[in-house]
Amino acid sequence: MSDPKTNKARRGFIIKMMQGSALAATSGLGWAFLLQQQAAASPFAIRPPGALAEADFNAKCIKCGQCVLDCPYDTLDLAKAGDTLPIGTPYFIPRDTPCYMCPDIPCVKACPTGALDPNLTKIEDSRMGLAVIDIENCLSWQGLRCEICHRECPVKDTAISVEHHPRKLSKHAMFIPLVHSNACTGCGICEKACPTDEAAIRVVEPSLVQGKIGEHYRLGWKIDTPITEDFKPSIKPDRDVPATGLDYLNEGDF
């Protein structure tokens, strides 16, 4: 065991192993960084119908392009190396070619991995993105009669509705298009149709624009909002605190 030759060999072996592991670890770190950078770009891609949530889609998509080939409108494309989207994954640019919402959804049928969810059978249920309106540049919001997005929308009145508002002193009303996230499929036909130089209605990944109210808010004036006590914090304070709400206003001298 203590033979110097064996010791030297053992030492050499251990050093080799350590060098190997160091090389694997450093290159692995660099590699992992590259992967995470790529995956981080995915919120900017508008995916085909039925695409799973970002992380699951990135994992499951095998980048074969069968959805791209089976799209009858040539809407889809695979992200190329050097694009700012995750490499090899399908996406589309609605302003160039939107999704025309084929009722038989051939792209989803073509997907061999399930990255496009095979349970999506009604194209109206797809959520490729969410249309948002730039009200500073929308013609209708300026008071012109446009509403092209509403007329082109394949799920019009539920995804895009038009409300008329009175316009200050003028006797003409404004006809305002509004998008409803519970019905908008993100197909992008509105974005394609928008007549402004740069589209004033655009499809984006909902997480980039959608807020969240928070469960502790109660819209008491809405009939379907139950008035409950469950908004009180579940954690008991560790010391006595003043009474909640407005009660302190009624205390003391007036």
Footprint of another protein on this chain (CB under 8 A)? 20, 24, 27-28, 31-32, 34-36, 38-39, 55-56, 58-60, 62-66, 68-70, 77-83, 86-88, 110-114, 118
Find the shortest distance in angstroms from Cβ 216 to another protein. 32
Please enumerate in sequence order all residues whose Cβ is within 8 A of that of 129, keeping only pairs 6 or more positions apart, or say none: 46, 47, 94, 186, 188, 203, 204, 205, 206
**For the chain, where are the alpha helices, taking DSSP H only?**
4-40, 54-60, 66-70, 106-110, 139-142, 148-152, 189-193, 206-209
Between 78 and 148, whose beta carbon lies closer to another protein? 78
Please enumerate in sequence order all residues whose Cβ is within 8 A of that of 16, keeping only pairs 6 or more positions apart, or say none: none
Strands 201-204 and 130-133: antiparallel
Between 20 and 166, whose beta carbon lies closer to another protein? 20
End-to-end CA distance of the chain: 93
Between 9 and 35, whose beta carbon lies closer to another protein? 35
Between 87 and 139, whose beta carbon lies closer to another protein? 87
Residue with tokens 């139950």: 226
Which three-class secondary structure state does DSSP give residue 155? Answer: coil
Find the shortest distance in angstroms from Cβ 63 to another protein. 5
Three-state secondary structure of 25-62: HHHHHHHHHHHHHHHHCHHHCCCCCCECCHHHHHHHCC
Find the shortest distance in angstroms from Cβ 35 to another protein. 5
Between 84 and 234, whose beta carbon lies closer to another protein? 84
Find the shortest distance in angstroms from Cβ 39 to another protein. 6
Find the shortest distance in angstroms from Cβ 143 to another protein. 43
Find the shortest distance in angstroms from Cβ 109 to another protein. 10
Between 26 and 142, whose beta carbon lies closer to another protein? 26
Nearest CA to 55 out of 69, 36, 73, 72 is that of 36
Query: Distances from the Cα of 35 to the Cαs of 42, 61, 63, 174, in angstroms?
Result: 12, 14, 15, 48
